[in-house]
């Protein structure tokens, strides 16, 4: 019996090994493996916002224009470069190359861009970067508002249909609309909702025709802008402006959900971005960039393969590239040292990054690459009058915000905590990167002035201030270390108590978006080479304005810049706007400017270090293979 049990166990163990071998097959052979520190939140180009997502999107989709790998300025993509531009910079006409193809062989046409851009502003699909379309394309903001208002009305009517109580504001919305039958003693809310929805849907295409997007023919796209944009050519390569293969995408648009239909939302089966998803005969993701999406092993890797339909395939050097999920930074570098990984985009989260930086400076590592980046690490300050729990918010007072800024020794943070060659920041926009833009530096470390301002605000020596909630995301550990150093400075110089709160990214992102904090860590990399990529973040109502800062003088300056066509005068106005927020209002506290510290060996070509940290996969090559 004992021998029988052993033999049986051996058979079972062998079976388990076979199962594991088949279920966790070896990763395929590739030209380059690059480390991806975390899982992807979305691969929908209308909804993505994280740098890893955007990097992948540039390999899968090609926009009207793309980026030069050396300096991230614009160059030809699906469209020839440059576009035809009107004298007032408000009408841009793009001419698409006839040889541009989707990965299934279909021709890329102007309507594919219109559909992709429309998805970016439709309720149900619109996300953080919707403002790039809403604020810049003529009529897009008005259309999005009309759509969102209708969704809200239909949401209220659903509540009434289900006998739910609605608040005073929603009641007034329904009363002001004067909907037929709504004033009856017992309104037929279902009938009222059905009629409102039908009327709205009957007008939806008529309203969208007012948006400044027009396909003159299959290969000509006319774009009318809401305001002059001298830098629009550097904006259209951004992921939000990607085209979408309309026919296949529409196959997975959700049409069998009562709630989604009743609210007129554009919602898609999230699996539409998967390479091997075939529900309802869906062919899998169809893209038009240099690579196709071949395989997605969740939490393991993503595999991209050269797109044989791509118009410029002869200049795509890699046959296959893998993004390998590597959540633990130190072990990632050990894998790199063993030649199991070819490229690490960011070394900044590693415990021993300062040693690597020093080795690089000493000339001992030709595979470590360092440069300034077009990014700023800063703290957002909640500017609302009250905190989420209803108590008064001391940071609503600009004097308090300015005092907390002046009490931070930013050079000490950069030199002693970060230790990667970062420069301390007194402005939001990294200086010396945007040609012609040179804003006066903001106030530096001045603890005496900080105490004076705090006393003027009514908190002498920190008396009367509640414990300061300093909110950071985790990992990496550097966020917490920075917060701990700043907490010591604030407690010493201002006499306050600081409570550091660290949460994993998803919770952090939700709380930050809902202003469930006093002060929280933030960081931003410019999306295009213009000051507005930073300054738009603080305009009233901007979707990325998590501080909820609102100032009419600042908004007025931004509006002046939006309509100014004189390049020099426009930059002067934007310099004045940044000076206003950094010298007088301080809705954000800049701490230091990011640097790029990456690892790739000499045989890896086509990755050019630049301030934007954009390295299109199209140009990558492994000369050792």
pLDDT digits (tens, 9 = 90+) for 84-109: 999 999 999 999 999 999 999 999 99
Buried b (16+ CB within 10 A) or exposed e, 598-619: bbbeeebebbbbbbbbbbbbbb
Query: Average pLDDT for residues 179-198, to the nearest whole number?
Result: 95
CA distances from 222 to 91, 133, 212, 495 (A): 7, 14, 8, 59
| Poorest-pLDDT segment among 16-25, 58-67, 213-222, 483-492 | 16-25
What is the CA 605 to chain-centroid distance, rounded? 27
Nearest to 91 by CA among 241, 242, 232: 232
Q: How confident is the model at residue 142 (pLDDT cuts 50, 70, 90)?
A: very high
In the prediction, which pLDDT does 190 show?
97
**Which of 429, 389, 391, 427 minimizes the C-alpha distance to 410?**
427
CA 575/CA 585 separation, integer angstroms: 15
63, 48 contact by CB (below 8 A)? no
Token pair belonging to 29:
């052979």
- Listed in sequence order, the residues at least 6 apart from 553 whose beta carbon sits closer than 8 Å to its beta carbon are 580
Higher pLDDT, 337 or 21: 337
Alpha helices per DSSP H over 307-462: 329-337, 353-361, 398-406, 410-412, 447-456
Q: Is the peptide bond before 82 cis (omega within 30 degrees of 0)?
A: yes
User: What integer pLDDT is reported at residue 191 of this predicted model?
Assistant: 97
In the three-class reduction of DSSP (H, G, I as helix; E, B as strand; rest coil), residue 214 is classed as strand
Which residues are paired to 527 by β-bridges? none
Give the H/E segment covering residue 371: strand 368-381
Using CA atoms of 613, 614, 617, 618 in order, give the dihedral in degrees to the nearest 10. -140
For residue 339, the SS3 value is coil
Q: What is the pTM of this model?
A: 0.83
Give the percent of the chain with pLDDT over 90. Answer: 81
- DSSP per-residue string spanning 241-269: G----HHHHHHTB--S-HHHHHTT---B-
* Alpha helices, DSSP H, located in 413-504: 447-456, 477-494
- Write the DSSP assignment of 58-93 as a string of letters: HHH---SEEE-TTT--EEESSB-SS-EE-TTS-EEE
Give residue 26's pLDDT. Answer: 58
For residue 70, pLDDT beyond 90? no
Q: How many helices (H) and strands (E) does the chain have?
A: 20, 18
pLDDT digits (tens, 9 = 90+) for 404-449: 999 999 999 999 998 889 999 999 999 999 989 999 999 999 999 9
């Amino acid at each position: 019996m004992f021998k029988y049990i052993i033999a049986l166990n051996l058979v079972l163990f062998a079976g388990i090994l076979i199962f594991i071998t088949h279920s966790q097959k070896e990763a395929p052979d590739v030209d380059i493996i690059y480390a991806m520190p975390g899982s992807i939140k979305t691969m929908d180009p209308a909804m993505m916002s994280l740098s890893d997502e955007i990097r992948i999107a540039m390999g899968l989709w090609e926009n009207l224009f793309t980026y030069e790998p050396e300096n991230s300025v614009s160059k030809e993509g699906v469209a020839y470069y440059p576009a035809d531009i009107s004298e007032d910079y408000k009408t841009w006409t793009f001419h698409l190359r006839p040889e541009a193809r989707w990965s299934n062989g279909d021709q890329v046409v102007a309507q594919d861009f219109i559909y992709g851009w429309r998805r970016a502003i439709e309720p149900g699909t619109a996300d953080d970067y919707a403002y790039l379309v809403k604020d810049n394309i003529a009529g897009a903001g008005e259309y999005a508002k009309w759509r969102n208002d209708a969704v809200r009305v239909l949401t209220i009517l659903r509540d009434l249909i289900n006998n739910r109580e609605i608040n005073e504001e929603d009641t007034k919305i329904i009363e002001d609309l004067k909907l037929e039958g709504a004033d009856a003693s017992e309104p037929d809310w279902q009938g009222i909702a059905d009629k409102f929805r039908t009327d709205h849907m009957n007008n939806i295409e008529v309203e969208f025709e007012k948006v400044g997007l027009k396909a003159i023919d299959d290969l000509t796209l006319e774009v009318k802008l809401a305001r002059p944009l001298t830098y629009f050519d550097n904006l259209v390569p951004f992921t939000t402006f990607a085209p979408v293969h309309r026919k296949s995408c529409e196959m997975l648009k959700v049409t069998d959900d009562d709630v989604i239909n009743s609210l007129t939302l554009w919602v898609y089966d999230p699996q539409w971005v998967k390479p091997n998803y075939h529900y309802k005969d869906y062919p899998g993701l169809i893209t038009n960039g240099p690579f196709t999406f071949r395989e997605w092993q969740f939490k393991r890797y993503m595999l991209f393969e050269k797109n044989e339909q791509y118009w410029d395939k002869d200049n795509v050097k890699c046959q296959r590239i893998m993004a390998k999920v590597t959540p633990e930074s130190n072990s990632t570098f050990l894998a790199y040292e063993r030649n199991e990984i070819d490229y690490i985009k960011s070394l900044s989260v590693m415990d021993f990054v300062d040693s690597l930086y020093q080795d690089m400076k000493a000339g001992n590592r030709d595979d470590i690459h360092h440069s300034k980046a077009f990014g700023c690490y800063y703290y957002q300050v909640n500017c609302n009058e009250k905190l989420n729990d209803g108590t008064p918010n001391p940071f609503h007072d600009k004097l308090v915000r300015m005092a907390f800024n002046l009490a931070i020794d930013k050079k000490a943070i950069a030199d002693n905590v970060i230790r990667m060659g970062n420069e301390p920041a007194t402005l939001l926009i990294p200086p010396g990167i945007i040609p012609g833009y040179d804003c006066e530096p903001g106030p530096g470390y001045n603890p005496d002035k900080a105490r004076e301002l705090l006393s003027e605000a009514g908190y002498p020596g920190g008396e009367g201030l509640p414990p300061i909630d300093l909110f950071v995301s985790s990992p990496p550990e550097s966020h917490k270390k920075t917060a701990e150093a700043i907490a010591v400075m604030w407690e010493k110089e201002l006499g306050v108590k600081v409570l550091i709160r660290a949460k994993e990214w998803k919770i952090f992102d939700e709380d930050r978006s809902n202003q469930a904090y006093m002060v929280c860590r933030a960081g931003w990399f410019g999306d295009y080479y213009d000051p507005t990529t930073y300054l738009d973040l603080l305009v009233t109502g901007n979707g990325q304005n998590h501080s909820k800062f609102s100032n009419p003088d600042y908004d007025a300056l931004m509006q002046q810049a939006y309509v100014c066509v004189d390049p020099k005068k426009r930059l002067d106005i934007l310099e004045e706007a940044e000076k206003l927020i950094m010298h007088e209002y301080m809705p954000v506290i800049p701490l230091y400017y990011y640097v790029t510290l990456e690892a790739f060996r000499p045989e890896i070509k086509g990755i050019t270090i630049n301030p934007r940290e954009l390295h299109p996969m199209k140009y990558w090559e492994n000369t050792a293979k």
